[in-house]
Structure 1
Amino acid sequence: MDCPVVRKFLSLGGDCAEEQEKKGLEKSVKKMNEILSKSSCHKQANKNSHFSLVEVEIINAKTKQKMCTLERVGNTVGISVLKELFQKKYPQFYTSRQSFRLEPRGKSLKDNDTLADLNLTNECILYFKDLGPQVGWSTVFYCEYAGPLLLYLLFYIRLPFIYGSEYAFKPSEHQVVQIAALCHTIHYAKRLLETKFVHRFSHGTMPIANIFRNSVYYWGFAAWMSYFINHPLYTPPCYGDTQIYTGLAIFIFCELGNLSIHLAFKSLRPAGSTKRQIPKPTMNPFTLMFNLVSCPNYTYEAGSWIGFALMTQTVVGLLFAIVGFMQMAQWALGKHRNYRKEFPDYPRTRKAIVPFIL
Protein backbone atom coordinates (compact mmCIF):
# COMPACT_ATOMS: atom_id res chain seq x y z
CA MET A 1 0.00 0.00 0.00
CA ASP A 2 1.62 3.22 -1.18
CA CYS A 3 0.60 5.98 1.15
CA PRO A 4 2.27 9.43 1.10
CA VAL A 5 1.84 9.76 4.83
CA VAL A 6 3.57 6.43 5.50
CA ARG A 7 6.41 7.29 3.12
CA LYS A 8 6.94 10.61 4.90
CA PHE A 9 6.93 8.90 8.32
CA LEU A 10 9.50 6.31 7.21
CA SER A 11 11.64 9.05 5.72
CA LEU A 12 11.63 10.98 8.97
CA GLY A 13 12.55 7.83 10.96
CA GLY A 14 15.50 7.21 8.66
CA ASP A 15 16.71 10.77 9.03
CA CYS A 16 16.52 10.50 12.84
CA ALA A 17 18.48 7.24 12.84
CA GLU A 18 21.13 8.78 10.58
CA GLU A 19 21.34 11.86 12.82
CA GLN A 20 21.70 9.69 15.94
CA GLU A 21 24.43 7.62 14.32
CA LYS A 22 26.28 10.79 13.30
CA LYS A 23 26.17 12.18 16.86
CA GLY A 24 27.41 8.88 18.27
CA LEU A 25 30.32 8.89 15.83
CA GLU A 26 31.22 12.44 16.82
CA LYS A 27 31.22 11.49 20.50
CA SER A 28 33.48 8.49 19.82
CA VAL A 29 35.94 10.62 17.87
CA LYS A 30 35.95 13.25 20.64
CA LYS A 31 36.59 10.61 23.32
CA MET A 32 39.41 9.07 21.26
CA ASN A 33 41.04 12.49 20.88
CA GLU A 34 40.89 13.00 24.66
CA ILE A 35 42.56 9.64 25.27
CA LEU A 36 45.29 10.39 22.73
CA SER A 37 45.80 13.83 24.27
CA LYS A 38 46.21 12.38 27.77
CA SER A 39 48.55 9.70 26.45
CA SER A 40 50.67 12.36 24.75
CA CYS A 41 50.85 14.40 27.97
CA HIS A 42 51.79 11.32 29.96
CA LYS A 43 54.59 10.49 27.52
CA GLN A 44 55.80 14.08 27.63
CA ALA A 45 55.82 14.00 31.47
CA ASN A 46 57.83 10.80 31.47
CA LYS A 47 60.20 12.31 28.97
CA ASN A 48 60.69 15.39 31.14
CA SER A 49 61.22 13.39 34.35
CA HIS A 50 63.70 11.00 32.66
CA PHE A 51 62.22 8.06 34.56
CA SER A 52 64.23 4.87 34.45
CA LEU A 53 64.74 1.64 36.36
CA VAL A 54 68.11 1.08 37.97
CA GLU A 55 69.93 -1.55 39.99
CA VAL A 56 71.22 -0.40 43.35
CA GLU A 57 74.17 -2.32 44.77
CA ILE A 58 74.47 -2.06 48.55
CA ILE A 59 78.00 -2.26 49.99
CA ASN A 60 78.85 -2.52 53.69
CA ALA A 61 80.69 0.73 54.48
CA LYS A 62 82.82 -0.97 57.14
CA THR A 63 83.79 -4.28 55.50
CA LYS A 64 83.47 -3.08 51.86
CA GLN A 65 81.66 -6.33 51.07
CA LYS A 66 78.56 -6.51 48.90
CA MET A 67 75.38 -7.06 50.89
CA CYS A 68 72.67 -7.20 48.21
CA THR A 69 71.32 -5.71 45.01
CA LEU A 70 68.00 -3.91 44.82
CA GLU A 71 66.70 -4.56 41.31
CA ARG A 72 64.37 -2.54 39.09
CA VAL A 73 64.19 0.47 41.38
CA GLY A 74 62.70 3.65 39.94
CA ASN A 75 65.22 6.48 39.92
CA THR A 76 62.54 8.86 41.21
CA VAL A 77 62.08 7.04 44.53
CA GLY A 78 63.58 8.46 47.70
CA ILE A 79 66.14 6.96 50.04
CA SER A 80 63.29 6.23 52.46
CA VAL A 81 61.88 3.72 49.94
CA LEU A 82 65.30 2.08 49.55
CA LYS A 83 65.45 1.66 53.32
CA GLU A 84 62.13 -0.19 53.27
CA LEU A 85 63.32 -2.46 50.44
CA PHE A 86 66.58 -3.10 52.27
CA GLN A 87 64.72 -3.97 55.47
CA LYS A 88 62.84 -6.72 53.60
CA LYS A 89 66.18 -8.35 52.87
CA TYR A 90 67.67 -7.62 56.32
CA PRO A 91 64.78 -7.40 58.83
CA GLN A 92 67.15 -6.75 61.73
CA PHE A 93 68.06 -3.37 60.21
CA TYR A 94 64.87 -1.36 60.66
CA THR A 95 64.70 1.90 58.72
CA SER A 96 65.77 4.25 61.53
CA ARG A 97 68.87 2.12 62.05
CA GLN A 98 70.02 2.48 58.44
CA SER A 99 72.34 5.06 56.96
CA PHE A 100 73.11 5.21 53.24
CA ARG A 101 75.89 7.29 51.76
CA LEU A 102 77.73 7.77 48.47
CA GLU A 103 81.15 7.10 50.01
CA PRO A 104 82.14 4.75 52.86
CA ARG A 105 82.96 7.73 55.10
CA GLY A 106 80.59 10.15 53.43
CA LYS A 107 77.62 12.03 54.83
CA SER A 108 74.33 10.22 55.39
CA LEU A 109 71.83 10.80 52.61
CA LYS A 110 68.47 12.36 53.48
CA ASP A 111 65.31 10.27 53.26
CA ASN A 112 63.82 12.58 50.63
CA ASP A 113 66.89 12.43 48.36
CA THR A 114 66.11 10.56 45.12
CA LEU A 115 68.48 8.57 42.92
CA ALA A 116 67.87 11.06 40.12
CA ASP A 117 68.76 13.98 42.42
CA LEU A 118 72.01 12.19 43.27
CA ASN A 119 72.76 11.64 39.55
CA LEU A 120 72.73 7.87 40.02
CA THR A 121 71.77 6.11 36.77
CA ASN A 122 71.79 2.56 35.46
CA GLU A 123 73.88 0.58 37.96
CA CYS A 124 74.65 2.55 41.11
CA ILE A 125 76.40 1.85 44.41
CA LEU A 126 75.40 2.96 47.89
CA TYR A 127 77.27 2.30 51.11
CA PHE A 128 75.36 1.08 54.14
CA LYS A 129 76.22 1.82 57.77
CA ASP A 130 74.46 0.32 60.75
CA LEU A 131 73.64 3.09 63.22
CA GLY A 132 73.03 0.57 65.99
CA PRO A 133 69.95 0.12 68.18
CA GLN A 134 67.84 3.26 68.18
CA VAL A 135 65.62 4.97 70.74
CA GLY A 136 63.23 7.91 70.43
CA TRP A 137 64.51 11.42 71.15
CA SER A 138 61.72 12.06 73.62
CA THR A 139 62.70 8.93 75.59
CA VAL A 140 66.30 10.15 75.78
CA PHE A 141 65.19 13.58 76.98
CA TYR A 142 62.91 12.13 79.64
CA CYS A 143 65.79 10.07 81.02
CA GLU A 144 68.24 12.97 80.85
CA TYR A 145 66.01 15.43 82.69
CA ALA A 146 64.09 13.27 85.17
CA GLY A 147 67.34 12.10 86.76
CA PRO A 148 68.73 15.53 87.72
CA LEU A 149 65.31 16.65 88.95
CA LEU A 150 65.10 13.79 91.46
CA LEU A 151 68.79 13.52 92.35
CA TYR A 152 69.11 17.16 93.36
CA LEU A 153 66.15 16.89 95.72
CA LEU A 154 67.59 13.78 97.39
CA PHE A 155 70.60 15.85 98.50
CA TYR A 156 68.34 18.78 99.36
CA ILE A 157 66.33 16.74 101.90
CA ARG A 158 69.61 15.30 103.19
CA LEU A 159 69.15 11.58 103.27
CA PRO A 160 70.92 9.95 106.26
CA PHE A 161 73.59 8.15 104.22
CA ILE A 162 74.70 11.39 102.49
CA TYR A 163 75.60 13.79 105.30
CA GLY A 164 75.06 11.53 108.32
CA SER A 165 72.14 11.00 110.67
CA GLU A 166 72.83 14.30 112.45
CA TYR A 167 71.60 16.28 109.45
CA ALA A 168 69.10 13.74 108.12
CA PHE A 169 65.96 15.32 106.66
CA LYS A 170 66.97 18.78 107.86
CA PRO A 171 67.29 21.09 104.83
CA SER A 172 69.70 24.01 105.08
CA GLU A 173 68.44 27.19 106.69
CA HIS A 174 70.27 29.41 104.18
CA GLN A 175 67.81 31.21 101.92
CA VAL A 176 70.05 30.82 98.88
CA VAL A 177 69.93 27.04 99.26
CA GLN A 178 66.13 27.12 99.17
CA ILE A 179 66.17 29.38 96.10
CA ALA A 180 68.73 27.19 94.33
CA ALA A 181 66.62 24.05 94.89
CA LEU A 182 63.56 25.84 93.52
CA CYS A 183 65.43 27.13 90.45
CA HIS A 184 66.98 23.73 89.69
CA THR A 185 63.62 21.99 90.03
CA ILE A 186 61.82 24.53 87.82
CA HIS A 187 64.50 24.25 85.14
CA TYR A 188 64.26 20.47 84.72
CA ALA A 189 60.49 20.40 85.18
CA LYS A 190 60.32 22.94 82.33
CA ARG A 191 62.49 20.72 80.19
CA LEU A 192 60.29 17.69 80.78
CA LEU A 193 57.16 19.65 79.91
CA GLU A 194 58.80 21.07 76.78
CA THR A 195 59.72 17.56 75.67
CA LYS A 196 56.07 16.54 76.00
CA PHE A 197 54.31 19.59 74.59
CA VAL A 198 56.76 21.85 72.72
CA HIS A 199 59.67 20.10 71.02
CA ARG A 200 59.30 18.78 67.48
CA PHE A 201 62.16 16.57 66.42
CA SER A 202 63.50 16.50 62.86
CA HIS A 203 64.91 13.03 63.55
CA GLY A 204 62.76 10.45 65.26
CA THR A 205 65.53 8.44 66.91
CA MET A 206 69.12 8.46 68.11
CA PRO A 207 71.57 5.67 69.09
CA ILE A 208 70.55 4.08 72.38
CA ALA A 209 74.10 4.56 73.69
CA ASN A 210 73.39 8.30 73.86
CA ILE A 211 71.08 7.71 76.81
CA PHE A 212 73.95 6.49 78.95
CA ARG A 213 76.42 9.13 77.81
CA ASN A 214 74.02 12.04 78.23
CA SER A 215 72.64 10.73 81.51
CA VAL A 216 76.12 10.47 83.02
CA TYR A 217 76.70 14.12 82.17
CA TYR A 218 73.41 15.53 83.45
CA TRP A 219 72.95 13.19 86.41
CA GLY A 220 76.59 13.46 87.48
CA PHE A 221 76.70 17.25 87.49
CA ALA A 222 73.31 17.50 89.24
CA ALA A 223 74.49 15.24 92.07
CA TRP A 224 77.86 16.99 92.29
CA MET A 225 76.37 20.49 92.46
CA SER A 226 73.65 19.46 94.87
CA TYR A 227 76.12 17.77 97.21
CA PHE A 228 78.08 20.99 97.77
CA ILE A 229 75.18 23.45 97.71
CA ASN A 230 73.21 21.44 100.27
CA HIS A 231 76.23 20.50 102.38
CA PRO A 232 76.00 21.46 106.09
CA LEU A 233 79.27 23.39 105.73
CA TYR A 234 78.10 25.40 102.70
CA THR A 235 78.43 29.18 103.11
CA PRO A 236 76.36 31.80 101.21
CA PRO A 237 77.92 34.09 98.56
CA CYS A 238 80.42 36.77 99.61
CA TYR A 239 78.27 39.70 98.53
CA GLY A 240 75.12 38.44 100.21
CA ASP A 241 71.67 39.28 98.91
CA THR A 242 72.99 41.54 96.15
CA GLN A 243 74.85 38.64 94.55
CA ILE A 244 72.05 36.16 95.21
CA TYR A 245 69.29 38.26 93.67
CA THR A 246 71.45 39.38 90.75
CA GLY A 247 72.11 35.74 89.89
CA LEU A 248 68.43 34.91 90.41
CA ALA A 249 67.33 37.73 88.08
CA ILE A 250 69.71 36.48 85.36
CA PHE A 251 68.43 32.92 85.83
CA ILE A 252 64.75 33.88 85.58
CA PHE A 253 65.32 36.19 82.59
CA CYS A 254 67.21 33.50 80.68
CA GLU A 255 64.73 30.75 81.55
CA LEU A 256 61.90 32.85 80.12
CA GLY A 257 64.03 33.58 77.06
CA ASN A 258 64.83 29.90 76.55
CA LEU A 259 61.14 28.95 76.74
CA SER A 260 60.22 31.74 74.32
CA ILE A 261 62.75 30.52 71.75
CA HIS A 262 61.51 26.93 72.01
CA LEU A 263 57.95 28.10 71.39
CA ALA A 264 59.16 30.13 68.40
CA PHE A 265 60.92 27.07 66.98
CA LYS A 266 57.71 25.07 67.38
CA SER A 267 55.77 27.58 65.29
CA LEU A 268 58.34 27.27 62.48
CA ARG A 269 57.79 23.54 62.00
CA PRO A 270 54.27 22.14 61.42
CA ALA A 271 53.45 18.97 63.37
CA GLY A 272 54.75 15.85 61.64
CA SER A 273 56.94 17.86 59.29
CA THR A 274 60.69 18.18 58.87
CA LYS A 275 60.37 21.50 57.07
CA ARG A 276 63.06 24.03 57.94
CA GLN A 277 62.76 27.81 57.81
CA ILE A 278 64.94 30.76 58.71
CA PRO A 279 64.17 31.55 62.39
CA LYS A 280 62.91 35.08 62.87
CA PRO A 281 61.67 37.14 65.84
CA THR A 282 57.99 36.91 66.76
CA MET A 283 55.85 39.31 68.79
CA ASN A 284 57.59 37.99 71.91
CA PRO A 285 60.43 40.44 72.80
CA PHE A 286 62.67 37.58 73.98
CA THR A 287 62.85 36.33 70.39
CA LEU A 288 64.60 39.53 69.25
CA MET A 289 67.76 37.58 70.04
CA PHE A 290 67.23 35.90 66.64
CA ASN A 291 68.51 39.13 65.09
CA LEU A 292 71.88 38.51 66.71
CA VAL A 293 72.44 34.74 66.89
CA SER A 294 71.26 31.59 65.13
CA CYS A 295 70.72 29.56 68.31
CA PRO A 296 69.40 31.91 71.02
CA ASN A 297 68.01 28.91 72.92
CA TYR A 298 71.63 27.96 73.70
CA THR A 299 72.47 31.59 74.51
CA TYR A 300 69.70 31.76 77.09
CA GLU A 301 70.52 28.28 78.40
CA ALA A 302 74.12 29.24 79.04
CA GLY A 303 72.95 32.46 80.68
CA SER A 304 70.68 30.51 83.05
CA TRP A 305 73.56 28.45 84.41
CA ILE A 306 75.86 31.47 84.66
CA GLY A 307 73.18 33.11 86.79
CA PHE A 308 72.83 29.94 88.87
CA ALA A 309 76.62 29.75 89.43
CA LEU A 310 76.71 33.43 90.44
CA MET A 311 73.80 32.96 92.81
CA THR A 312 75.24 29.90 94.58
CA GLN A 313 78.95 30.81 94.26
CA THR A 314 80.16 27.24 93.79
CA VAL A 315 83.08 26.01 91.70
CA VAL A 316 81.02 23.03 90.50
CA GLY A 317 78.21 25.33 89.37
CA LEU A 318 80.68 27.46 87.40
CA LEU A 319 82.29 24.34 85.91
CA PHE A 320 78.89 23.05 84.79
CA ALA A 321 78.15 26.40 83.13
CA ILE A 322 81.51 26.38 81.30
CA VAL A 323 81.29 22.76 80.11
CA GLY A 324 77.69 23.27 79.04
CA PHE A 325 78.57 26.41 77.11
CA MET A 326 81.42 24.66 75.29
CA GLN A 327 79.13 21.84 74.18
CA MET A 328 76.31 24.18 73.15
CA ALA A 329 78.76 26.39 71.26
CA GLN A 330 79.82 23.37 69.23
CA TRP A 331 76.20 22.52 68.42
CA ALA A 332 75.40 26.15 67.61
CA LEU A 333 78.33 26.51 65.22
CA GLY A 334 77.22 23.37 63.36
CA LYS A 335 73.63 24.58 63.05
CA HIS A 336 74.81 28.04 62.04
CA ARG A 337 76.85 26.56 59.19
CA ASN A 338 73.88 24.47 58.06
CA TYR A 339 71.59 27.51 58.05
CA ARG A 340 74.01 29.52 55.91
CA LYS A 341 74.51 26.61 53.54
CA GLU A 342 70.81 25.79 53.20
CA PHE A 343 69.46 29.35 52.89
CA PRO A 344 71.33 31.68 50.46
CA ASP A 345 69.50 34.69 51.93
CA TYR A 346 70.39 33.82 55.53
CA PRO A 347 71.32 36.98 57.51
CA ARG A 348 75.11 37.36 57.36
CA THR A 349 75.32 39.50 60.47
CA ARG A 350 74.13 36.75 62.79
CA LYS A 351 76.59 34.87 64.94
CA ALA A 352 76.10 31.33 66.25
CA ILE A 353 75.63 31.72 70.01
CA VAL A 354 77.34 34.85 71.40
CA PRO A 355 76.19 38.16 69.86
CA PHE A 356 78.89 39.93 67.80
CA ILE A 357 81.57 37.42 68.93
CA LEU A 358 80.90 33.72 68.26
Structure 2
Amino acid sequence: MVFLTEYTSPLLIYLLFYLRLSSVYDAKECTTRVRHPIVHLACICHCLHYLRHLLETLFVHKISEGQTPLKNLIKGCAFYWGFTSWIAYYINHPQYTPPSFGNRQVTLAAFTFLICEAGSHFISVALVHQNQSGNKSSFPSPSINPFTWLFALVSCPNYTYEIGSWISFTLMTQTLPVGVFALLIAIQMALWARKKHQLYLKKGTSSQWRKAAMIPFVL
Protein backbone atom coordinates (compact mmCIF):
# COMPACT_ATOMS: atom_id res chain seq x y z
CA MET A 1 0.00 0.00 0.00
CA VAL A 2 2.92 2.35 0.66
CA PHE A 3 4.29 2.03 -2.87
CA LEU A 4 0.87 2.04 -4.49
CA THR A 5 -0.04 5.22 -2.62
CA GLU A 6 3.23 6.95 -3.48
CA TYR A 7 3.07 6.04 -7.18
CA THR A 8 -0.65 6.27 -7.99
CA SER A 9 -1.14 9.84 -6.84
CA PRO A 10 1.69 11.36 -8.97
CA LEU A 11 0.11 9.70 -11.98
CA LEU A 12 -3.30 11.25 -11.26
CA ILE A 13 -1.93 14.62 -10.12
CA TYR A 14 0.04 15.08 -13.33
CA LEU A 15 -3.00 14.26 -15.46
CA LEU A 16 -5.06 16.88 -13.60
CA PHE A 17 -2.53 19.58 -14.49
CA TYR A 18 -2.34 18.23 -18.04
CA LEU A 19 -6.06 18.92 -18.40
CA ARG A 20 -5.34 22.59 -17.59
CA LEU A 21 -8.17 23.07 -15.15
CA SER A 22 -9.55 26.60 -14.99
CA SER A 23 -8.96 26.66 -11.25
CA VAL A 24 -5.20 26.34 -11.89
CA TYR A 25 -4.51 28.23 -15.12
CA ASP A 26 -6.06 31.24 -16.79
CA ALA A 27 -8.84 29.92 -19.03
CA LYS A 28 -8.39 32.59 -21.70
CA GLU A 29 -4.65 32.01 -21.89
CA CYS A 30 -5.19 28.26 -22.23
CA THR A 31 -7.48 28.69 -25.21
CA THR A 32 -5.28 31.17 -27.05
CA ARG A 33 -1.95 29.36 -26.65
CA VAL A 34 -1.39 26.13 -28.56
CA ARG A 35 0.42 23.39 -26.67
CA HIS A 36 3.84 22.45 -27.91
CA PRO A 37 4.20 18.72 -28.79
CA ILE A 38 6.74 18.33 -25.97
CA VAL A 39 3.92 18.89 -23.47
CA HIS A 40 2.10 15.81 -24.75
CA LEU A 41 5.33 13.80 -24.91
CA ALA A 42 6.22 14.75 -21.34
CA CYS A 43 2.80 13.60 -20.14
CA ILE A 44 3.23 10.25 -21.88
CA CYS A 45 6.71 9.73 -20.45
CA HIS A 46 5.70 10.76 -16.93
CA CYS A 47 2.69 8.42 -16.98
CA LEU A 48 4.82 5.61 -18.41
CA HIS A 49 7.33 6.01 -15.59
CA TYR A 50 4.78 5.70 -12.80
CA LEU A 51 2.74 3.03 -14.57
CA ARG A 52 5.91 0.95 -14.74
CA HIS A 53 6.47 1.42 -11.02
CA LEU A 54 2.87 0.44 -10.26
CA LEU A 55 2.92 -2.67 -12.45
CA GLU A 56 6.28 -3.77 -11.03
CA THR A 57 4.96 -3.28 -7.50
CA LEU A 58 1.97 -5.50 -8.28
CA PHE A 59 3.56 -8.17 -10.43
CA VAL A 60 7.37 -8.11 -10.13
CA HIS A 61 8.68 -6.99 -6.76
CA LYS A 62 8.45 -9.19 -3.70
CA ILE A 63 7.28 -6.86 -0.95
CA SER A 64 8.11 -7.77 2.64
CA GLU A 65 5.30 -8.18 5.16
CA GLY A 66 6.76 -5.61 7.52
CA GLN A 67 4.94 -2.39 8.31
CA THR A 68 6.10 1.09 7.35
CA PRO A 69 5.85 3.80 10.02
CA LEU A 70 3.09 6.29 9.31
CA LYS A 71 5.54 9.21 9.37
CA ASN A 72 7.58 7.58 6.57
CA LEU A 73 4.45 7.18 4.47
CA ILE A 74 3.53 10.82 5.04
CA LYS A 75 7.03 12.02 4.13
CA GLY A 76 7.14 9.86 1.01
CA CYS A 77 3.73 11.00 -0.18
CA ALA A 78 4.49 14.65 0.54
CA PHE A 79 7.73 14.38 -1.44
CA TYR A 80 6.27 12.69 -4.52
CA TRP A 81 2.97 14.54 -4.54
CA GLY A 82 4.54 17.93 -3.93
CA PHE A 83 7.19 17.59 -6.62
CA THR A 84 4.70 16.16 -9.10
CA SER A 85 2.48 19.19 -8.62
CA TRP A 86 5.42 21.55 -9.10
CA ILE A 87 6.68 19.69 -12.16
CA ALA A 88 3.27 19.33 -13.78
CA TYR A 89 2.37 22.97 -13.14
CA TYR A 90 5.41 24.23 -15.02
CA ILE A 91 5.34 21.82 -17.95
CA ASN A 92 1.62 22.21 -18.60
CA HIS A 93 1.57 25.97 -18.08
CA PRO A 94 0.28 27.89 -21.13
CA GLN A 95 3.50 29.95 -21.16
CA TYR A 96 5.79 26.92 -21.15
CA THR A 97 8.52 27.18 -23.79
CA PRO A 98 10.19 24.18 -25.49
CA PRO A 99 13.87 23.26 -24.92
CA SER A 100 16.60 25.49 -26.34
CA PHE A 101 17.86 23.03 -28.96
CA GLY A 102 14.42 22.07 -30.20
CA ASN A 103 13.49 18.68 -31.60
CA ARG A 104 17.06 17.38 -31.55
CA GLN A 105 17.29 17.81 -27.79
CA VAL A 106 13.80 16.42 -27.21
CA THR A 107 14.32 13.37 -29.43
CA LEU A 108 17.67 12.42 -27.92
CA ALA A 109 16.40 12.89 -24.35
CA ALA A 110 13.20 10.95 -25.03
CA PHE A 111 15.15 8.06 -26.56
CA THR A 112 17.49 7.97 -23.55
CA PHE A 113 14.50 8.09 -21.23
CA LEU A 114 12.94 5.03 -22.87
CA ILE A 115 16.25 3.15 -22.71
CA CYS A 116 16.55 3.89 -19.00
CA GLU A 117 12.95 2.89 -18.33
CA ALA A 118 13.51 -0.42 -20.10
CA GLY A 119 16.75 -0.91 -18.18
CA SER A 120 15.01 -0.26 -14.87
CA HIS A 121 12.40 -2.88 -15.65
CA PHE A 122 14.82 -5.60 -16.70
CA ILE A 123 17.06 -4.95 -13.69
CA SER A 124 14.04 -5.28 -11.39
CA VAL A 125 13.21 -8.62 -12.99
CA ALA A 126 16.82 -9.79 -12.67
CA LEU A 127 16.94 -8.85 -8.98
CA VAL A 128 13.75 -10.79 -8.29
CA HIS A 129 15.19 -13.87 -9.98
CA GLN A 130 18.39 -13.43 -7.99
CA ASN A 131 16.47 -13.38 -4.72
CA GLN A 132 14.37 -16.39 -5.72
CA SER A 133 17.53 -18.39 -6.40
CA GLY A 134 18.50 -17.99 -2.76
CA ASN A 135 22.02 -16.84 -3.63
CA LYS A 136 22.12 -13.46 -1.88
CA SER A 137 25.79 -13.55 -1.01
CA SER A 138 27.08 -12.48 -4.42
CA PHE A 139 26.47 -9.78 -6.97
CA PRO A 140 23.72 -10.40 -9.51
CA SER A 141 25.42 -11.37 -12.75
CA PRO A 142 24.96 -10.00 -16.27
CA SER A 143 22.83 -12.19 -18.50
CA ILE A 144 22.16 -12.42 -22.22
CA ASN A 145 19.92 -9.35 -21.82
CA PRO A 146 22.05 -6.26 -22.74
CA PHE A 147 20.28 -4.16 -20.11
CA THR A 148 21.77 -6.35 -17.38
CA TRP A 149 25.35 -5.90 -18.56
CA LEU A 150 25.59 -2.89 -16.28
CA PHE A 151 25.88 -5.40 -13.42
CA ALA A 152 29.48 -5.86 -14.58
CA LEU A 153 30.27 -2.28 -13.58
CA VAL A 154 27.98 -1.31 -10.70
CA SER A 155 26.22 -3.01 -7.83
CA CYS A 156 22.93 -1.13 -8.19
CA PRO A 157 22.15 -0.54 -11.88
CA ASN A 158 18.48 -0.13 -11.00
CA TYR A 159 19.40 3.18 -9.37
CA THR A 160 21.63 4.08 -12.31
CA TYR A 161 18.77 3.64 -14.75
CA GLU A 162 16.31 5.44 -12.46
CA ILE A 163 18.52 8.50 -12.23
CA GLY A 164 19.13 8.31 -15.98
CA SER A 165 15.37 8.49 -16.53
CA TRP A 166 15.02 11.67 -14.51
CA ILE A 167 18.08 13.33 -16.02
CA SER A 168 16.69 12.55 -19.47
CA PHE A 169 13.30 13.92 -18.46
CA THR A 170 15.03 17.07 -17.21
CA LEU A 171 16.78 17.58 -20.55
CA MET A 172 13.64 16.73 -22.48
CA THR A 173 11.48 19.32 -20.69
CA GLN A 174 14.23 21.76 -19.65
CA THR A 175 12.47 22.80 -16.46
CA LEU A 176 13.93 23.68 -13.06
CA PRO A 177 11.47 21.60 -10.97
CA VAL A 178 12.42 18.39 -12.76
CA GLY A 179 16.11 19.19 -12.33
CA VAL A 180 15.72 19.75 -8.58
CA PHE A 181 13.72 16.52 -8.26
CA ALA A 182 16.35 14.60 -10.24
CA LEU A 183 19.12 15.97 -7.99
CA LEU A 184 17.34 14.98 -4.78
CA ILE A 185 16.53 11.53 -6.16
CA ALA A 186 20.17 11.09 -7.19
CA ILE A 187 21.41 12.00 -3.70
CA GLN A 188 19.01 9.60 -1.99
CA MET A 189 19.76 6.74 -4.37
CA ALA A 190 23.49 7.31 -4.05
CA LEU A 191 23.15 6.78 -0.29
CA TRP A 192 21.12 3.61 -0.81
CA ALA A 193 23.54 2.34 -3.45
CA ARG A 194 26.61 2.82 -1.28
CA LYS A 195 24.93 1.01 1.60
CA LYS A 196 24.00 -1.95 -0.62
CA HIS A 197 27.44 -1.91 -2.23
CA GLN A 198 29.15 -2.21 1.15
CA LEU A 199 26.84 -5.09 2.04
CA TYR A 200 27.76 -6.90 -1.18
CA LEU A 201 31.45 -6.36 -0.50
CA LYS A 202 31.22 -7.86 2.98
CA LYS A 203 29.67 -11.02 1.56
CA GLY A 204 31.50 -11.16 -1.76
CA THR A 205 34.98 -11.78 -3.10
CA SER A 206 37.97 -9.46 -3.39
CA SER A 207 37.51 -9.12 -7.17
CA GLN A 208 34.23 -7.32 -6.54
CA TRP A 209 36.06 -4.30 -5.12
CA ARG A 210 36.58 -3.18 -8.71
CA LYS A 211 32.90 -2.40 -9.01
CA ALA A 212 31.31 0.96 -8.22
CA ALA A 213 28.06 1.37 -6.31
CA MET A 214 25.95 3.24 -8.84
CA ILE A 215 27.96 5.25 -11.38
CA PRO A 216 30.69 3.30 -13.23
CA PHE A 217 34.22 4.27 -12.19
CA VAL A 218 32.89 7.23 -10.16
CA LEU A 219 30.54 6.30 -7.30
- For residues 102-122 of structure 1, the C-alpha deviation after alignment (integer angstroms, 9 at most, x for no partner) is xxxxxxxxxxxxxxxxxxxxx
Partners of 2:14 and 2:85 lie apart in 1 by: 6
Paired AA for residue 178 in structure 1: H
Q: How many residues align?
A: 219
Change (3 A) 1:190 1:354: same
Among candidates 137, 145, 159, match of residue 284 of structure 1: 145
Partners of 2:34 and 2:145 lie apart in 1 by: 38
More helix by share: 2
- Contact 1:160/1:169 (8 A) holds in 2: no
Moved over 6 A (4+): 168-171
Paired AA for residue 289 in structure 1: L
Matched, 1:189 2:45: no
Aligned to 1:296: 157
Aligned to 2:118: 256
Aligned to 2:183: 322
Unaligned runs of 5+ in 2: none
Partner SS state of residue 206, structure 1: coil
TM-score norm. by structure 1 comes to 0.58
Partners of 1:225 and 1:244 lie apart in 2 by: 17
More strand by share: 1
Give 1:277 deviation, angstroms: 4.4
- For residues 32-64 of structure 1, the C-alpha deviation after alignment (integer angstroms, 9 at most, x for no partner) is xxxxxxxxxxxxxxxxxxxxxxxxxxxxxxxxx
Change (3 A) 1:147 1:217: same
TM-score norm. by structure 2 comes to 0.93
Among candidates 233, 236, 250, match of residue 98 of structure 2: 236
Identity of aligned residues (%): 45
Partners of 2:195 and 2:20 lie apart in 1 by: 41
Partners of 1:207 and 1:170 lie apart in 2 by: 47
Give 1:325 deviation, angstroms: 0.4
Give 1:274 deviation, angstroms: 9.7
Change (3 A) 1:284 1:255: same
Larger Rg: 1
- For residues 122-144 of structure 1, the C-alpha deviation after alignment (integer angstroms, 9 at most, x for no partner) is xxxxxxxxxxxxxxxxx110011
Higher relative contact order, chain-length normalized (CA < 8 Å, sep 6+): 2
Partners of 2:125 and 2:44 lie apart in 1 by: 23
- In angstroms, what is the RMSD of aligned CA positions? 2.1
Paired AA for residue 337 in structure 1: Q
Partners of 1:202 and 1:147 lie apart in 2 by: 22
Change (3 A) 1:280 1:211: same
- Contact 2:138/2:203 (8 A) holds in 1: no
Unaligned runs of 5+ in 1: 1-138
- Contact 1:202/1:274 (8 A) holds in 2: no
Aligned to 2:170: 309
Partners of 1:170 and 1:208 lie apart in 2 by: 45
Partners of 2:201 and 2:70 lie apart in 1 by: 31
